[in-house]
Amino acid sequence: MGQRKFSQGQGLPKHRSGRGRSQINLELFQELNRVVIHDDDHYYLAGVLAELLVAEGTKVTFVTPSAKVSEWAGNTLEQGRIQSRLMSLGVSLELSQAVTP
């Protein structure tokens, strides 16, 4: 598959999320400069995405139905570091919360 490249100012297309549930409008995302990440995987990826977005100046709210950030990462002894890092970066954590349509 070929990759599409966009030059600055060209406008970004709408993308589908990894699970195909909803459209992500990247132009709106850039305008608002804030994002909600819903972690239903409970491993490391949502935390990595949150850290990347904060580093780019985006305000991030991390929502998970679990009582801990990246709870499954406790099996690999990474959970505490992930949660501590997100807290130190100022990520808003919404634990034990579900996202419904």
Q: What's the pLDDT tens digit per position in 78-88?
A: 999 999 999 99
Give the count of domains, the chain. Answer: 1
Q: Is residue 62 part of a domain?
A: yes
Per-residue pLDDT of 4-40, as tens digits, reads 444 444 444 454 445 544 555 666 666 778 889 999 8
Structural domain of 71 = 34-101
Query: Using only C-alpha atoms, what is the Rg of the chain?
Result: 15
Q: Is residue 46 part of a domain?
A: yes
What CATH number is associated with residue 87? Answer: 3.50.50.60
Q: Would you state the pLDDT for residue 50?
A: 93
Q: Is residue 95 part of a domain?
A: yes
Burial of 37-69, coded b for 16+ CB within 10 Å and e otherwise, reads: bbbeebbbebbeebbebbeeeeebebbbeeebb
- This prediction's pTM: 0.69
